[in-house]
Amino acid sequence: MALMNFGGVEENVVTREEFPLAKAREVLANETIAVIGYGVQGPGQALNLKDNGFKVIVGQRSPSKSWDKAVRDGFVPGVTLFSPEEAMQQATIIMYLLSDAAQIAMWPTVQKHLTTGKALYFSHGFGITYKDRTGIVPPKDVDVFLAAPKGSGTSLRRLFQEGKGLNSSFAVFQDATGHATERCLALGIGIGSGYLFETTFQKEVYSDLTGERGILMGALAGVMEAQYNVLRKNGHTPSEAFNETVEELTESLIKLVGENGMDWMYANTSTTAQRGALDWKGPFRDATTPVFEQLYAKVAAGEEAQRSIDTNSQDDYRVKLEAELAEIRDSEMWQAGKTVRSLRPGR
């Protein structure tokens, strides 16, 4: 690991130069990696590992849409695709990539296959951090660690195919073999991470839950709705309101911010835009800081975790979820967005 300076603060990071793919292959040469769950993160991580030359198998229930997807992705039933129990029996590393609610439900089965020396891998600190709520307490004689890509499994796969990488955090919760860190880093490199930065299970889940509910999804959706509604209330058309609220952000500005930073964006806009953005940044920060503080406090107290466990484990969860998603999808704002996207050249 190397110390890197981030805004004046030094952090431990691992790059592909320090831990090349050849070293990762060497570390995991005698390991059988079982990906349990083929939903959000499973496909991207499994396929990247497979393409990088690791021995990876998938454990998935059949019949299911996820089983069928794994077959379409090239995993062969009875050879590299098995039931979860069969895959875990063969594995030396179990990549536990089910949803948080599904991890709780399957945990008694997983425990049976965590024999001495095996490793249990996560891409989220939820199950371990909130163990009093999830019941996920690994035996002491196995390694427990995580590599958490900072994005969706779809993005992880797409960037891998483009020869790029998605940054990931990593953490070791339990080192039973004395090799947990190198196993963890090897998997982090194997799944296609751009670089890996060190954290803990607790910090990973606190930042992740805050980010998902905050700027990445909840806050973003909320402020978009607020601006769109104000524009519409003042007589602007749906097309104008959507383009000024969403399209310009997603199709232009945010990509430039990602490439060059917000300071560059400010420096390369009109003087009118510069002045307005600088003047209004503070009021928006001050207005939302109390909401973020309340959010973080609820995450740290376990309230957000419990709400997820309670709602996502209900029998009618999918029905209720679809109703909530339909409300967003059918709103004027996102119906306008559907039309805008259809009018993009080349679409």
The number of C-alpha atoms within 13 Å of 45 and in the hemisphere containing its C-beta is 32
Strand duo 9-15 + 193-198: pairing: antiparallel
Angle at 306 between CA 300 and CA 312, to 5 degrees: 135
Tokens found for residue 287: 């207005």
Cα diameter, the chain: 67
In angstroms, the CA 168 to CA 147 distance is 6
Q: Classify the phi-psi angles of 6: left when phi > 0, otherwise alpha if psi is within -120 to 50, otherwise beta.
A: beta
Residue 299: DSSP 8-state: H
Amino acid identity of residue 255, one-letter, is K
Are the C-beta atoms of 241 and 332 separated by less than 8 Å? no
Residues near 115 by Cβ (< 8 Å), separated by ≥ 6? 142
CB 3 within 8 A of CB 10: yes
Q: Are 196 and 14 in contact (CB under 8 A)?
A: yes
* Residue 149 bridge partners (DSSP): 168
Q: Are 295 and 214 in contact (CB under 8 A)?
A: yes
DSSP letters of 174-206? E-SSS-HHHHHHHHHHHTTEEEEEE--HHHHHH
Catalytic (active-site) positions = 124
CA distance 129 to 208: 12
Kindly report whether the peptide bond that precedes residue 63 is cis, defined as omega within 30 degrees of 0: yes
Q: Looking at the chain, how many residues does it have?
A: 347
